[in-house]
Amino acid sequence: MGTSEQLLTIAAVLLGALMTYVTNYWTERQRIRREQLTRWDNKKLDAYENYVDTVRASVFLAVELYEHREGIRRSDDPESQMLADVAAASRSRGRAFERIMLLGGDDVVEAAHDLNAAALAVDWQATGKTPDTLAAWRDRNRAVFRAINAFHETARVDLGVSGTVTGDTHPDRDLLLPPARRDNNAST
């Protein structure tokens, strides 16, 4: 075997080694990038889930307080305790909102702002800061659940989840209300 053949063999081995190195480097870099995206997607999903959960919990506490204050359904808890529960839920919602601000995309953050405003309107009427009618109360509750659905939509897009939770496949749903009472509030 001549010198030129030996040099050609060495060059082929070196080229093969270089190509193996480049391929392994590129593959490892892609794997790390996928792991980082998955890690952040998991954190986003946890933040989005926690935020919606805290919003819903705060709305349910506000509903209990409102119904107690308006004499619709009395609670065994004292009003002062219910007010404290609504305030604590509002603080939890604020902390969950901050995680959205840190992890969410622009559209998700805007949807969270809208949802937060709708939830605050429910809180304010429940606590008496903005006194209004039962019809307005129900409108505020409808608005907060529409805002939850809008938040779901933007969060799904941000996470790359296909499909929607609204639209033709999933028509709008209204509040689940008990049958009308047979008194002055029957028409509201």
Look at 26-35, 69-78, 147-156, 179-188 and tell me which has the smallest mean pLDDT.
179-188
Residue 176 inside a domain? The answer is: no
Please give the mean pLDDT across all residues of the chain.
88
Query: Which residue range(s) make up the domain with 73?
Result: 40-163
152 assigned to some structural domain = yes
* pLDDT band, residue 97 (cuts 50/70/90): very high
In a domain? residue 30: no
Number of domains in the chain: 1
Find all residues with CB under 8 Å of 156, minimum gap 6, and list them: 163, 164, 165
Q: Is the pLDDT of residue 170 over 60?
A: no
pLDDT beyond 50 at 56: yes
pLDDT band at 180 (very low <50, low <70, confident <90, very high): low
Read off the pLDDT band of 30 (50, 70, 90): confident
Could you tell me the CATH number of the domain that includes residue 156? 1.20.120
Query: Does the residue 177 lie in any domain?
Result: no
User: Does residue 10 form part of some domain?
Assistant: no
Residue type, 179: P
What phi and psi values does residue 105 have, to the nearest 5 degrees?
-75, 175
Q: Is residue 138 part of a domain?
A: yes
pLDDT single digits (tens) 107-124: 999 999 999 999 999 999
**pLDDT value at position 38?**
64
Task: Report yes or no: 75 and 68 within 8 Å, Cβ to Cβ.
Answer: yes
At residue 167 the predicted structure's pLDDT band, cuts being 50, 70 and 90, is low
Reply yes or no on whether the pLDDT at 144 is more than 80.
Answer: yes
Q: Judge whether 97 lies within some domain.
A: yes
Residue 144 lies in a domain: yes
Give 17-79 as a DSSP string: HHHHHHHHHHHHHHHHHHHHHHHHHHHHHHHHHHHHHHHHHHHHHHHHHHHHHTTSS--SS-H
